[in-house]
Amino acid sequence: MTPNALAGEIARRRTFAIISHPDAGKTTLTEKLLLYGGAIRSAGSVKSRRSDRHATSDWLDMEQERGISITASVLHFDYEGFRINLLDTPGHQDFSEDTYRALTAADSAIMLLDNRKGVEAQTRKLFSVCKKRRLPIFTFVNKCDRIGTDPLGLLDDVQAELGIDCFVSTWPVRHDGQLVGVWDRGRSCVRLYERTDDHGSSRPAATVHTMDAPEVEEALGREGVERLREEVELIEIAGTEPDFDAVLRGESSPVCFGSALTNYGVDVFLERFLSIAPPPAARESEEGPVDPADEAFSGFVFKVQANMDARHRDRVAFLRVCSGAYDEGAEAVVSRTGRTIRLAQPQEFLARERGHAANEAVAGDVVGLLDRGNLRVGDSLAVGRSIEYPGVPRFSPEHFAQIRMDEALKRKHLDRGLRHLAEEGTILLLFAPSITGPVPIVGAVGVLQFDVLLDRLEREYGVQARLERLPFHCARWVTGPEAVIDKVANAYGRRRVEDADGATLILFDNEWTLQRSVEEEKELTFHDVQPRGVARA
């Protein structure tokens, strides 16, 4: 690819994730974005999807049984000249770590709110991650086909709760309480939708009018038009002015109102989002910022998933390309190990169909690489140089359990399963020393991860294991004199363990004991993530 062609390709990339609280309508909106992008022909209603069809991004049987989307996957499609990479993220809060990681690979985020609930717990948590990364955030207030909280009041709440400026980009237009269209502030026009009888599985026909057009009066009545005029005036007087530079700095968020279920307002939202959302920008690395149009390929792994397809016992590492174009066959340096690997043919992902080679992946894209155990979450790869992107952070586990198994002969299978799932980042694998050899202990951010672990050990590794919950709720890597580590770890309510690399951690029964140790034991350093250079080679 010539430098110009590369720059042109990168400029049309939009890589983003959707953050929301469960049930706000993320699956529905994702389906609609795929529908608009032509990636699927018709969107099934969530209900029919739950009973007999499954959302395109559901991978595991268990997710389908439970009707929740657990693992993050990547959907990409072309829309009006843009190449869209949608990092699908799990809705369940026990899997927020997956979402957290997906956000490290995103250039912007869509914040989806329920019009009756506004900012909810999970939105708040994920928003704080976006804020730290200064990601531009685009807000879509969903379910406006139902009457919800007063829209301006909702905006005030978002500003007060999250500390981000919000400005109206589109506004719900109602007639007799029914959503009939949206006011498009940027274009100063009303978009009216035609009602469909297919429960939103296709795009509704839309017509665009100025406020004084007869079609608008016909749809809203004279009084309705007057009310809309007043609302628009109020937005201009009392609302925040649009500031697109502030959006790009992550300080202000354009807000669109609509309904993912009926598709009303989704088209304008997508247009606005694509016109403002940034293409891939320079990324910070240990060696300084790396320009996306830099021809030398580099990227980092933000997710590893094993056994996505029962027929192929392999793992897929999801790599976000940060610079250049993915160079199949080239030798890339893995910064963590200093080893060189040959870049394999990337896999393209949309639903369960795999096996198509991705047509050239450039900065901003995500490629899935078949991996035989060389790559881990957080690894940076680069061709012709060594680049290290900041590690992909992980949440500290809050639940711990010891693994028990009756079939001693399957111990090897268990070990392999645990190792794989730990490398995916599903669980933190630890070992407690004992006379009979190290005892595996698993740590997880949410308890549902334990269910997934047992389920996957059985399905994928043929191992029936049990978990015995342990009374610990936090863990820290520790460095310092051995004697002091032992003294702290031997106190009541703690335990000394090692991670799979042989680095030492202490488990604590609660946050308070941990904080006390941090304050009292000045000779020890407590780390949230595995510190460099402490792992046994």
Tell me the number of residues near ligand G4P by CB under 6 A: 19
Q: How far is the CB of 13 from ligand G4P (least distance, A)?
A: 25
User: Can you tell me which of 19, 24, 43, 387 binds ligand G4P, judged by CB under 6 A?
Assistant: 24
**In whole angstroms, what is the distance from residue 42 CA to residue 518 CA?**
55
Q: How far is the CB of 402 from ligand G4P (least distance, A)?
A: 33
> Does residue 278 interact with ligand G4P by CB under 6 A?
no
Distance of CA 48 to the CA centre of its chain: 25
In terms of CB distance, is 69 or 426 closer to ligand G4P?
69
Residue 40 neighbours by CB under 8 Å, 6+ apart: 31, 34, 56
> Does residue 23 interact with ligand G4P by CB under 6 A?
yes
Tally of CB atoms within 10 A around 65: 10
In Å, what is the CA distance from 445 to each residue of 398, 408, 420?
A: 5, 28, 17
Instruction: Label residue 488 exposed, middle or buried (CB < 10 Å: 0-12, 13-18, 19+).
Output: buried
Stretch that binds ligand G4P, among 21-29, 74-82, 245-253, 388-396 (CB under 6 A): 21-29
Interface characters, 292-321, with ligand G4P (x: CB under 6 A) = ------------------------------
In terms of CB distance, is 27 or 504 closer to ligand G4P?
27
Residues from 65 through 94 that contact ligand G4P (CB under 6 A): 91
Q: How far is the CB of 88 from ligand G4P (least distance, A)?
A: 10
DSSP state, 372? Answer: S
**E-assigned strands of 336-424?**
340-342, 366-371, 380-383, 399-405
Q: How far is the CB of 191 from ligand G4P (least distance, A)?
A: 16
User: Can you tell me which of 27, 305, 347, 426 binds ligand G4P, judged by CB under 6 A?
Assistant: 27
> To which residue do tokens 């998933």 refer?
305
> Does residue 149 interact with ligand G4P by CB under 6 A?
no
> Does residue 145 interact with ligand G4P by CB under 6 A?
yes
Pick from 153, 91, 88: which is nearest to 117 by CA?
A: 153
In terms of CB distance, is 41 or 47 closer to ligand G4P?
47
In terms of CB distance, is 22 or 186 closer to ligand G4P?
22
Radius of gyration from C-alpha coordinates of the chain: 25
In terms of CB distance, is 146 or 394 closer to ligand G4P?
146
Is the separation of the CB atoms in 247 and 136 below 8 Å?
A: yes
> Does residue 259 interact with ligand G4P by CB under 6 A?
yes
Q: How far is the CB of 302 from ligand G4P (least distance, A)?
A: 21
Two tokens, residue 145: 């086909």
Is the separation of the CB atoms in 393 and 445 below 8 Å?
A: no
Two tokens, residue 347: 């896999």
**In whole angstroms, what is the distance from residue 536 CA to residue 500 CA?**
9
Pick from 384, 408, 428, 418: which is nearest to 530 by CA?
A: 428
**Under DSSP, is residue 225 helix (H, G, I), strand (E, B) or coil?**
helix
Residues from 41 through 60 that contact ligand G4P (CB under 6 A): 45-47
Tally of CB atoms within 10 A around 356: 12
User: Can you tell me which of 14, 26, 320, 336 binds ligand G4P, judged by CB under 6 A?
Assistant: 26
Pick from 441, 443, 315, 429: which is nearest to 379 by CA?
A: 315
DSSP state, 284? Answer: -
Pick from 101, 17, 172: which is nearest to 392 by CA?
A: 101
> Does residue 123 interact with ligand G4P by CB under 6 A?
no
In terms of CB distance, is 148 or 346 closer to ligand G4P?
148
Q: How far is the CB of 90 from ligand G4P (least distance, A)?
A: 9
Two tokens, residue 471: 């009374």
Stretch that binds ligand G4P, among 23-31, 321-329, 332-340, 452-460 (CB under 6 A): 23-31
Instruction: Label residue 111 exposed, middle or buried (CB < 10 Å: 0-12, 13-18, 19+).
Output: buried
Pick from 90, 280, 409, 464: which is nearest to 453 by CA?
A: 464
Stretch that binds ligand G4P, among 35-43, 139-147, 352-360, 448-456 (CB under 6 A): 139-147
> Does residue 32 interact with ligand G4P by CB under 6 A?
no
User: Can you tell me which of 15, 73, 142, 305 binds ligand G4P, judged by CB under 6 A?
Assistant: 142
Residues from 196 through 225 that contact ligand G4P (CB under 6 A): none
Residues from 506 through 525 that contact ligand G4P (CB under 6 A): none
> Does residue 240 interact with ligand G4P by CB under 6 A?
no
Q: How far is the CB of 309 from ligand G4P (least distance, A)?
A: 24
Backbone angles phi, psi at 496, to 5 degrees: -90, 130
In terms of CB distance, is 55 or 375 closer to ligand G4P?
55
In this structure, the strands spanning 13-20 and 82-88 are: parallel
**In whole angstroms, what is the distance from residue 436 CA to residue 430 CA?**
16
Q: How many residues does the chain have?
A: 537
Residues from 326 through 385 that contact ligand G4P (CB under 6 A): none
In Å, what is the CA distance from 507 to each residue of 388, 432, 456, 511, 530?
A: 30, 10, 25, 10, 14
In terms of CB distance, is 19 or 463 closer to ligand G4P?
19
User: Can you tell me which of 84, 113, 260, 266 binds ligand G4P, judged by CB under 6 A?
Assistant: 260
Pick from 158, 156, 190: which is nearest to 171 by CA?
A: 190
Stretch that binds ligand G4P, among 26-34, 129-137, 176-184, 496-504 (CB under 6 A): 26-34
In terms of CB distance, is 264 or 318 closer to ligand G4P?
264
User: Can you tell me which of 10, 16, 17, 28 binds ligand G4P, judged by CB under 6 A?
Assistant: 28
> Does residue 146 interact with ligand G4P by CB under 6 A?
yes
In terms of CB distance, is 57 or 517 closer to ligand G4P?
57
| Residues within the interface to ligand G4P (CB under 6 A) | 20, 22-28, 45-47, 91, 142-143, 145-146, 259-261
